[in-house]
Each structure stands twice: as structure tokens, then as C-alpha cells.
Amino acid sequence: MKQVLRKILSSAIMLAALACGKDPFPGGGESDLEPVPPPDTLVTPGPDTSTARKFFFGANGHPVTQAAYKALSAKEQLELIKSLGFNIYRIDIAVDENGYSKMHNRLMEFCRLADEMGIVLLPMLYHVQMDFDGFEQDSYESGYQRGRNFAAIYKDYFKYYNIANELDNRCILPKMSGTLSSHYDLKKFKIIAAHLKGMNDGIKSIDSEAETMVNASWMHYRYLLMLEDYGVNYDVVAYHWYDEMDKLAAKTYNIDDITQFLCTKFSKPIWFTEVNIRNTMGNVADDVQSAFLNKMYMKCKSNPQVKAMMVYELFNQPVFNSIESHYGLFTWTQRYKQYQPKLWAEEQIQRIAFSIP
């Protein structure tokens, strides 16, 4: 654990010991779109002590694929996850043709330690390169083998599988919102749908108790409904939601709570597997991020159909020199060696420390 984090934890624990109690910190659309009223209250996230409903609260990271994470040990990353009160870590996994992670030994270390620490790992299994001029059957078979091979190796370590990532963006037509089937390139969609059906079927041919999820973002919920119609029997709606989407949905569609809106479209459990602000140049104030994450957490936690929220992502990624560079809950003070929490993470660490008996 880095020195700055130790200081935060020590300070929070000292303050908790002096406190009298354990009070929590205060903390133009289509015709099928109906207004959704905003919630009345705002609370900041603390540890989940409910036994009636399991809610996954966590972060995204890239511990077996990207440079900002590879330099840090599994133990250090999972300790950070734990210090934030998180219980799930979504990680992307690139595999070879036999289904093995390209960093198998490191992945196994994460699986072992996560199990010991009570943290669920959610693998995001990459898809193969899409051949949009090919045949649906070929796309299905490549997806089936990919899913089956991966599950045959890792089924003892995972219950939930995120199959592919944001393929809705590969078939959406230019300047379309995604609310209608006509907003998608149907030829591309069928290739994608066949591949996802194959991945889903392949995983479940090995792991009959697996729960799979497919993700989409913005107003692309119709894509997920189209997948259902195609016969992709995924179990969980995974959604990505960022602050500019939140603002535009309210302005354009009168949707003030995306969690409530999605409940009108799906009966499946809903997981928000990516949530954050856009911070393209890295100059957005930390309190903007903090306010948005707190607001989204409250909406997710208050909605019984929503079972998870994951912040994208744990660390800034300066190597990309793009919008991806500034999403982190932690920023680097010395590249890939020393880091410090941004405002929301610092406050969350203190909230969790205060909850220690």
C-alpha cells in the first residue's frame, strides 16, 4: 500500500476513534420514451450491510492487459479495491485460440487473492475480430469456441461473464440514437448477434450455472432487445453510463433516472458496469466526479432491479494520451509507481475506515 493511502487510512481511523458514534457521512426523443421522475434524496456510498439484497459495488481495471496496472501487484490492487469498500473488480481478459489468458499466471494470482479477500472478479472476455462480410454460422462457431474454451479453463473461478464489449457501437448507424431497430446496420448486427450467441452458448455448455451479460451504452437499449429477439440468452443487462449521457438524456428525452427507465424496457437484472464522468483533458474538478458518482450510486442502490455499479476505472492511464487518460479514481504522482486518490476515492476510503468497529 502506498504511503499516501496509509496516511489517509490512519487519519480516518483516528477520527473514527474520537467520534461519538458511527453516523454515515452526509453525503427530440421517440414516442416510446416516457419521462422518469428524479429521486428525492442523495446519499453517499458506504459499506453494504444488507442481507436482503446483494449489491455489487466496484471498479474496472486492466491488471492483465494494460501498462498502468501491470506494474502493480495483485495484492496491492485488491487491497485498494477493499479499501474503497468495493466487492467486485471488472477486468478485461485477452485470450489465445485455446482460451487461455495471455497472462494466465498473473490472472491465477488475482483469482486466488480475490477469493481470499471476498472480492468477485468479473471477466470481460474480448470478442474476435468481426468479419462483417462473412456468414452468421461462422461467427456463431467462432464465438462458441471462444466461450467454451475459456469456460473450460476458468469456470471454477468465475460465476459471471461479460461477453464482449460495446459491440453496439460497431453496428449503430451514423447520427442515430439507437432507440429503434432501424437505427442499426442489420447485416453487421446479425454477425455480432451470432457471435454473442455463440459465446453465450459455449460458456454455458461448460458452466451451466454461469450468468452472462452483454453491455450497451447511451440509448442503445434497443440493441439489447434485438439480441434477445435473435436468441442470445444472456442473463444480465450490462449498461455503460457517463455524465454527458446523463445530461443529454434529461434534456432530450426527459429521462432523469436511467436506472428507472431501463426497468421499463427489461425484466432482467441490470448492472451498470461502467460509470464515470468524461474528463477529456484532465481539467475537470474532482468534486464534479465525486458528485456524479454519489448521485449514480444512490440511483443504482435505490433501485431493486439494479444489482451492480462499477466505476470506470481504478487508475488514470497516461500512456493513451487521450480521453482514457483521466478516468481514474487514483492519479499517478510518479508514473506507475506512486499514486494518490482523487477526491471521491479519498472520501470513500475515509467512509469505509469510519465503519471499522
* pLDDT reported for residue 247: 97
Confidence of residue 7 (pLDDT cuts 50, 70, 90): low
DSSP state of 19: S
* pLDDT reported for residue 354: 86
* pLDDT reported for residue 5: 58
Mean pLDDT over 31-60 rounds to 56
Question: Beta strand 120-125 with 56-61: parallel, antiparallel or unpaired?
Answer: unpaired
Confidence of residue 33 (pLDDT cuts 50, 70, 90): very low
* pLDDT reported for residue 280: 87
Give the count of beta carbons closer than 10 Å to the beta carbon of residue 267.
8
The C-alpha cell at 289 is: 466526479
Mean pLDDT over 137-152 rounds to 98
Residue carrying C-alpha cell 462473412? 134
Q: By percentage, how much of the chain surpasses pLDDT 70?
A: 85
* pLDDT reported for residue 39: 34
Confidence of residue 2 (pLDDT cuts 50, 70, 90): low
Q: What is the mean pLDDT of the chain?
A: 88
Cα angle, residue 119 at apex, residues 293 and 260 outer, rounded to 5° = 40
Q: Are 230 and 222 in contact (CB under 8 A)?
A: no
Q: What are phi and psi for residue 43, nearest 5 degrees?
A: -125, 155
- Give the separation between CA 71 and CA 159, rounded to whole angstroms: 27
Question: Beta strand 338-341 with 330-334: parallel, antiparallel or unpaired?
Answer: antiparallel
**Helix ranges, 155-183 (H):** 168-171
Left (φ > 0), alpha (ψ -120 to 50) or beta: where does 319 sit? alpha
Confidence of residue 198 (pLDDT cuts 50, 70, 90): very high
Mean pLDDT over 33-45 rounds to 39
Question: Beta strand 160-163 with 120-125: parallel, antiparallel or unpaired?
Answer: parallel
Asked if residue 41 has pLDDT above 80, the reply is no
Number of alpha carbons in the 13 Å side-chain half-sphere of residue 305: 18
pTM for this model (two decimals): 0.88
* pLDDT reported for residue 322: 83
* pLDDT reported for residue 3: 54
CA distances to 168, 171, 201 from 187, in Å: 13, 8, 21
> Which residues are CB-contacts of 41 (< 8 A; sequence separation ≥ 6)?
298
Asked if residue 273 has pLDDT above 90, the reply is yes
The C-alpha cell at 64 is: 492483465
* pLDDT reported for residue 323: 81
- Give the separation between CA 89 and CA 87, rounded to whole angstroms: 7
Tell me the residue type at 24.
P
Confidence of residue 321 (pLDDT cuts 50, 70, 90): confident
pLDDT digits (tens, 9 = 90+) for 201-225: 999 999 999 999 999 999 999 999 9
Domains and CATH numbers, the chain: 3-8+55-354 (3.20.20.80)
> Which residues are CB-contacts of 295 (< 8 A; sequence separation ≥ 6)?
42
User: Which sign, positive or negative, has the C-alpha torsion 15, 20, 21, 24?
Assistant: negative
The C-alpha cell at 256 is: 432523469
Confidence of residue 19 (pLDDT cuts 50, 70, 90): very low
Q: Are 247 and 218 in contact (CB under 8 A)?
A: no
* pLDDT reported for residue 143: 98
Cα angle, residue 307 at apex, residues 301 and 310 outer, rounded to 5° = 80
CA distances to 73, 206, 262, 305, 318 from 272, in Å: 26, 26, 11, 11, 25
Asked if residue 146 has pLDDT above 90, the reply is yes
